[in-house]
Structure 1
Amino acid sequence: MITRQEINGKSPLNYSWYDIKNIDDNDIVKLKKRFHFTPTIISYVADRNERPHYDHDSLTHSELIVYDVPVWPEEKSDHFTTRPLIFLLQGTTVYTFHTNATEDIFEEFKEERAHEAQDATEFIMLFLLHVTQYFQRALTQLNHQLNELDRRLNTKIKNKDLLELAQMERSLVFVSSSARTNLMMLEDLKNTPMSWQITKSAQERLDDVLIEAEQASRTVEISNEVTEKISKTSNNILNNNLNDTMKFLTVWSLILTIPTIITGFFGMNVKLPILNNGFDWILVVFVNFLLIGGLYLYLKKNDFI
């Protein structure tokens, strides 16, 4: 759906803003006919899995920016993911492309920050700054969950907690990858044709975006390292517990083998020497305990127990 956007009930004075939500075939036809989008641009804006990058179309003098934003877990996904926001600048006209997954981010920017932009390039930089700050929000929530999870893992390791830890690692993979690629794209933006159009105020916003993006990238790396260490520590504890369990079972299986052998031997339906009265079972039990005690002391002396 293509919508001409207004800010505070009014159209921006120095630029136009069109938003395309959940682009479909009808929107593509309109963009080609009405706005003269080329097939190359259409292929970029219609791709919902496009990676962050910048592209310049010399035919239409268009500047394309694809920027990732973190998306909070939903019913179908137990971990954070990322989705692209796409900006297309043609002269003084800005086109934004987003989906339902990023609708909240879009609406929040429109209500809180969009009115600060004085021109098209500053509008894009403001939007990028707003989106980049969502990485810090996501990391704050992930760190809070990680601290709570670490507290539970220090008491007793459960499968439920390990599954949650795995989901957090998956979240950090998505967030970390997007934060790095966003930062790389922003650093290269200063050496692109778009830098010629960036106004002084927009350049200041871009510097703020770069600071936020670099901070987000470093923070997510630290969170990733902490999560990996907690995961390794938990795995080491689990392996140690498993070793202790196997050691316990092995030792007692050896100890319990002794009465099995002796009772099996004296349980044969044949006449045996020495034992010829009704109290012989006491001797058999005593021999059992004697051998079990001897084996137990031997294992303990050699650090098997």
Structure 2
Amino acid sequence: MLQVIKTNSDFKLDYLYFRGEDSNKEIDPTILKEKNTWISVTDPDEEEILALQNMLEIPEEHIKAALDEEEKSRLEIDGDMLLLIIDVPLHSEGDKCSFTTLPLGIILLKDNIITISTERFPLVDEFVKGRIKEFFTYKKTRFILQLLFRNTSYYLFYLRQIGRVSDVVESTLKKNMENEELLLLLDLEKSLVYFKTSLKSNELVLDKIMRLQFVKKYQDDMELLDDVIIDTKQAIEMANIYSSILSGTRDAFSTIMSNNLNNVMKRLTSITVVLAIPTIISGIWGMNVSVPFAANNFGFGLVILLSIAISGFIAYWLNKNKML
């Protein structure tokens, strides 16, 4: 999907061009080369990739880097072109505990700004639908910083969501310890690992932008960049805190489950010992050998009483020592 968006004279967004997933519409080079536009590209097909390469002279490796799901956050300057790749958080709608990150490529040209991704991010949709205030396509540096700021806001939002889900899972585990809840904790821990890794990579990119003199940064832009850096550090701290809490919670409940299993095995072993006494005694009196009370008419009753007495004593001793 490829969209070309531009701010008009009334500072409203004009959608100059749209090419959907099933569209066979030819790509107009004059539209792509329109100045002060934002070209939003999502999961591009071969024709769209070739159009970006040939019409806007974007190197193929820049496009492939933005579409590589394993690509890490980085900033690269190639002549008059700037390539910025950031990790964007993504939440799977079908799974409340599934969070991941995917790269978003931002290419800054002299007259245009291009965003490329494999998935349709809610982050980008906010800008496409005009929900962001004071968003203008001709203010390219500010647009990039606004993207970074909203991206960090999504990290903070998803981290709070992870915190709420972990509280629910913990409450469920206190009532009923099942493997499913422990697996949910593992999924949340995995999500936090993705978040921490991506946030640290994004932080390095932000530090590089702070030192970079390639793009013009005005006073308002510097204040916004400072806010992005502060929120990113806060998100990293939150991710570390939640990760420590989840790890401690999972270890605690795993220990509790192991302890409960040990208690069950201890009780079963004690019960086995108590029940084994009558079996041993009756086995001895059942042999074809001379044993006490064998000729007595009350011998069988005495054997039963003896078995009960010994079993009762052993049960009392085990219970006194908290083994039963």
TM-score between the two structures when normalised by the length of structure 2? 0.84
* Alignment check: 8 A CA contact 1:143 1:223 kept: yes
Q: 2:73 aligns with which of 38, 45, 52?
A: 52
Q: Distance in 1 between matches of 2:120 and 2:254?
A: 35
Match of 1:108, as an amino acid?
A: E
Q: Is the 8 A contact 1:149 1:165 kept in 2?
A: yes
CA distance in 1 between partners of 2:65 and 2:288 (Å): 87
User: How many angstroms apart in 2 are the aligned matches of 1:2 and 1:23?
Assistant: 7
Judging changes above 3 Å, is the alpha-carbon distance between structure 1 residues 101 and 120 closer, same or farther for their aligned structure 2 residues? closer
Of structures 1 and 2, the one with the larger relative CO (CA 8 A, separation 6+) is 1
Pair 1:5-2:13 in alignment: no
Query: Which residue pairs with 2:245 in the alignment?
Result: 226
CA-based RMSD of the aligned residues comes to 2.5
| Higher mean C-alpha deviation, range 295-304 or range 284-293 | 295-304
1:203 aligns with 2:225: no
- 1:270-294 Cα distance to aligned partner (Å, 9 max, x none): 6755323664332221111111122
Residues 204 and 92 of structure 1, relative CA distance in 2, 3 Å threshold: farther
Alpha-carbon separation, structure 1, partners of 2:228 and 2:35 = 22
Aligned counterparts, 1:142-221, within 5 A: 142-194=162-214, 196-221=215-240
**CA distance in structure 2 between the aligned counterparts of 1:170 and 1:286, rounded to whole angstroms:** 61
SS of residue in 2 equivalent to 1:197: coil
Listed one character per residue, the Cα deviations across residues 138-182 of structure 1 (whole Å, up to 9, x for unaligned) are 011111112222222233322222122122112211122212221
Partner residue in 2 for 1:42: 63
Contact kept, 8 Å, 1:83 with 1:101, in 2: the verdict is no
Unaligned runs of 5+ in 1: none
Distance 2:139 2:221 in 1: 8
TM-score calculated relative to the size of structure 1: 0.88
Query: How far apart in 2 are the matches of 1:153 and 1:221?
Result: 22
Q: Which residue is equivalent to 1:250?
A: 269
* Count of residues in correspondence between the two structures: 301
Aligned twin of 1:124: 144
Distance 1:72-1:278 versus aligned 2 partners, 3 A rule: farther
Give the structure with the larger helix fraction. 1
Q: Does 2:88 correspond to 1:69? A: yes
Match of 2:176, as an amino acid?
A: K
State the 1:94 CA deviation. Answer: 0.3
Note the C-alpha offset of 1:231: 1.3
Change (3 A) 1:185 1:9: closer
- 2:14 aligns to what SS in structure 1? coil
